[in-house]
Amino acid sequence: MKNKSSEASEVVILERCWVVEFKSKTDVSIILKFQSGEPDLYIEAASKPDCEAWAVALGEANSEGLRNKIQQLRRLIMEIKEERASEEARQFLPSSQVDSLGEPQFTSIQRIANEPKLEFSLACKGLVAATRDRKLNTFIQVSVVHPAEHILTRYSSTEIVEGTRDPLFLTGVTFPPEYPIYEETKIKLTVYDVKDKSQDTVLTSVLPDHKEPRADVGRSFLGCATFRVGDLVKSKEQQLTLTLRFLSRTSDGGKTVGTIEVNLVKMGEFEDGEMDHITTDAQDQKFLCFLPLKSCSCGFLSATCAHNTENLERMTDRRAKEECALVRECTAPEGLSGKDNLPSLNAVLKNPICKLYRFPTSDNKWMRIREQMAETTLSFHVPKELINLHIKEDMRRNQELKDLGELAPHWDNMRKSVIAHCDQMLSMYQDTLAELGKHTGSSFKSSCSKGEKTLEFIPINLHLQRMHVHSPRLKDALYDVITVGAPAAHFQGFKNGGLRKLLSKFEAERRNTGYQCIYYSPENTAKAKEVLSNINHLQPLISSHADLLLNSASQHSPDSLKNSLKMLSEKTELFVHAFKDQLVRSALLALYTARPGCVLKKPAVPRSSAEESDDLKHQNHPSQIKRQDSIPHHSEYDEEEWDRVWANVGKSLNCVIAMVDRLLEKDNSSKTKEGESDPSAADCKVLHAGGDWYEQLYPLVITLKDCMGEVVTRAKQSMAFVLLQELACGLPQCLMLTLRRDIVFSQALAGLVCGFIIKLHTSLHDQGFLQQLHTVGLLVQYEGLLSTYSEEAGMLEDMAVGISDLQKVMFKVIEAKSEDFLPIITGRREHYVIEVQLPAKMFELLPQEIKEGKLLRMYPVLFNVGINEQQTLAERFGDTTLQENINQENLELLKEYYNLFTEKMPPDCLPHFQEQNDLKGLLENLHQNIQAKRRKNVEIMWLAATICRKLNGVRFTCCKSAKDRTSMSVTLEQCSILRDEHQLHKDFFIRALDCMRSRQTQGALNESDDPETGCLTDNKPTSRHFYPVALLLVSSHLLVVWLILSLALLLAKYQ
């Protein structure tokens, strides 16, 4: 402070202070108040205008005010740079890098197709701390400067290594194949020291790219370094050592605070490095575990997963004791990433997200792990194909109901009601398909959308989770797990339970409605649908083969005639066999009784199969076939009439066969006699004989078609009448249950198709697996983590039925005829065939049986173990019978598959077969654990997963939304495999597990905390509401007291 003519008498530092100005007209004083608690400073001006001027000047001179101005200027500069980015890029780039259109051209990085463009690992040395006594907790934030835009974009971060100034980060940096990175791209590495870990894990991820974090968010800036990608790629040792500098305004170039090493990573090469220092310092370099994230795309996990971790990690002790040979079955074949299989695989997978790790082995070597998660286009493709098939099937069923003809008033009113309800359901399917056709954006359904009606057929969070391991002494290995939310009808709700309970209840109620309609068992209803399906499939084939037979006769081609007759006979025999069932005969009688004025001629006398076959053998002449009219409405009905109509098809076929045999016999004898005569005369007779062939076969073929048409008409009407009873007995519950089952099945099938295609691609060179595929079938194991409490019990019931329905799905591999490699779905409800398309080069690698179109069976099994706090409530106060029954039922299915495997596969086919005793022991151990009925017995999951991998199966992991529990299970399984099969160092198991679960390694999130839900979460722990319950669970008595008090409070509140 000074006068105008005197020297300064006092210096005031304007920092963390504010100005208090008195508003009275006479007072010309100002007070400065300090946050530090120092005494207030009173300043008096000469006049009121001087006082106001001083107040403004002091306010602007404050350090906070200056900082705000600087930040405002920085924002303006960034806006100007963004507007002029393209012009600046052209100025700085050489003329050779600008094409004729003025667009900049950059040097791309040459990498293997479908492999990441760039991968590197990081380590720091000699970091300088602000205080000597402080141990640093550091991590590196990776940002990218795109050469064309000159904009800094946050890309990813390493894990946090605690307690060392020489951190070696296990998490690397990887750029996927489609990422726009070039040799001119600059990468900025910023090192931070984390002080308050709980705040940093949440707050730093929502900052804009151009802003540095505030000092109060729990971390401090240590230094940064920048390098060009081209310098790293072209360096002789493929390694860069960068100086880490702390930039300041007072020193040019900044203060050196350490060095950072960047090492280029190639999965096919081994890293030479000394492991002594990291092994020795394992206790000092503590690793911080944050909230887990399932591979960056499925949302954050709540801290309640710590409760689940205790249950999941009980498996690790068991896995340390028992070795399981999983590596050989997952060994990546040569040419796995070749160009031939890329188009078909890329048609299914998209938007891959990769993470890179390096972990030490027990012999002090490095192994590299690339963790990849990818979305699949099948999440929407398969449901849309299914809905389209449902629409066609329901339209065909409605038409068949309309074609039943005249019915008595009671039955006619019933038919009208059924058709009206079916039309409403059909309209709903059509609207859903139209809405799905409009969908754009993400190729998977996030968990926050599971309650949306338009997306109810879409599986939740369907992803491929792949771990590629490259270890020093073992072959490269792939481990795939399909993660998906439990197939369930979330929009329909679970107030009355799931499908398992609803179907049982519906069937019981349907038996008590016999006074309204005729009861047919579910087996008979399924048989009726099968008969209708066979009719629709075989009738066109028989007609086409009959036409080919006549065409061969007109051309007088004996060989073609024989082939056409063979195909016609095979299809006609299948057609006749389809109606060899008492259901058709009884349904025809029931339909006749539903006609107006029906009269029965005589009671039904069922004929034996021997009598039926005798008719087919001995009555072979057209004169013995008497054409029957359609079912009479107002005359006597002879129940044996159906037997005669049905048998006429076989008789007609026998007549055709006999005529062809006579024609061929005459042709052979005529050729023998005429071979010695004039050739020209023989040719004329051949032409005349060709006309005779056609004329003699034509009436017989027409008779066959007419008889077949008559059978089809009667059978269709009778089976449609059976379906009418099924629908009428349970309107509208029957249609709603069909809808719910379609929804659940659609979600389950999308995951199954994805798993099959991935398994087929990765095992295309494994002849043992391919033989197992067409000889036995494919084992598909689902690991369920749902509780048996509240709504999740209903989800589990839905899931159990949906996975069980997958047993009726068959796969067929075909050669692709175009560039569209998406699978084709055909069939009807309860009988679908999935045609998987492969390029020609890949198709040639398949066994002949598969190339000839052999249908491949699926054996889905589900084992569920609830692991969350809701399962604790279910085990203490609820019922776990549902889970126990599901596990027991699927254990029997697993044993059935194992028995087929041992019977049909040769002993030397699979390398695992020499461990047959191990498989038997694992099955027996699984049986014992299921019978034990222990609480949260996660041993069941580990045993089922091990058996599945040994049997070349496909693994699925499911929970409610495929986020929290799923990610915990998958990461634990991956680390256990690394330890048991790839010699992961025992001191680094927990570090590797925490590294894969670390939220910090997932990179910067610009718009929201949760990339899967798109919702900004609070900074407080999401599990704070569960702490009271977790404490009460320690004692069941406390929990009972808490429940009683809560109930009393609720009653008092509403009274």
749: Cβ–Cβ under 8 A, 6 or more apart, which residues?
382, 386, 806, 809, 832, 834
Helix (H) or strand (E) run with residue 429 in it: helix 409-437
C-alpha–C-alpha distance, residues 488 and 45, integer Å = 76
Q: Identify the bridge partners of residue 481 per DSSP, sorted by sequence position.
A: 465
Measuring CA to CA, how many Å separate 117 from each of 112, 229, 370, 703, 986?
8, 11, 13, 68, 32
Q: Identify the bridge partners of residue 925 per DSSP, sorted by sequence position.
A: none
Question: What spatial distance separates the first Cα and last Cα of the chain, rounded to whole Å?
Answer: 71
Query: E strands within 38-181?
Result: 41-44, 118-125, 137-145, 152-157, 161-162, 173-175
Burial of 36 (0-12, 13-18, 19+ CB in 10 A): exposed
Measuring CA to CA, how many Å separate 113 from each of 110, 175, 334, 338, 470?
9, 13, 14, 7, 18
Q: Within 10 Å of residue 721's Cβ, how many Cβ atoms?
A: 24
Contact (Cβ atoms closer than 8 angstroms) between residue 825 and residue 832: yes
The closest alpha carbon to 170, from 883, 932, 997, 918, belongs to: 997
Which tokens belong to 449? 């959308």
DSSP state of 301: P
C-alpha–C-alpha distance, residues 417 and 591, integer Å = 18
Q: Identify the bridge partners of residue 599 per DSSP, sorted by sequence position.
A: 636
- SS3 call for 936: coil
DSSP state of 514: T
Which tokens belong to 885? 């029954």
474: Cβ–Cβ under 8 A, 6 or more apart, which residues?
327, 981, 982
Measuring CA to CA, how many Å separate 341 from each of 268, 345, 349?
20, 6, 12
C-alpha–C-alpha distance, residues 1001 and 157, integer Å = 5
DSSP code per residue over 555-573: TT-HHHHHHHHHHHHHHHH
Query: What residues are annotated to the active site?
Result: 959
C-alpha–C-alpha distance, residues 534 and 508, integer Å = 29
Contact (Cβ atoms closer than 8 angstroms) between residue 358 and residue 172: yes
Contact (Cβ atoms closer than 8 angstroms) between residue 1027 and residue 304: no
- SS3 call for 908: coil
Contact (Cβ atoms closer than 8 angstroms) between residue 191 and residue 260: yes
Helix (H) or strand (E) run with residue 772 in it: helix 767-775
Measuring CA to CA, how many Å separate 802 from each of 334, 392, 486, 748, 807?
36, 22, 10, 6, 10
No. of helices (H) and no. of strands (E), the chain: 31, 25
Sign of the C-alpha dihedral computed for residues 424, 429, 430 and 435 taken in this order: positive
Rg (CA), the chain: 38
The closest alpha carbon to 800, from 858, 865, 863, belongs to: 863
What are the backbone dihedrals phi and psi of residue 17, each rounded to the nearest 5 degrees, phi first? Answer: -140, 170
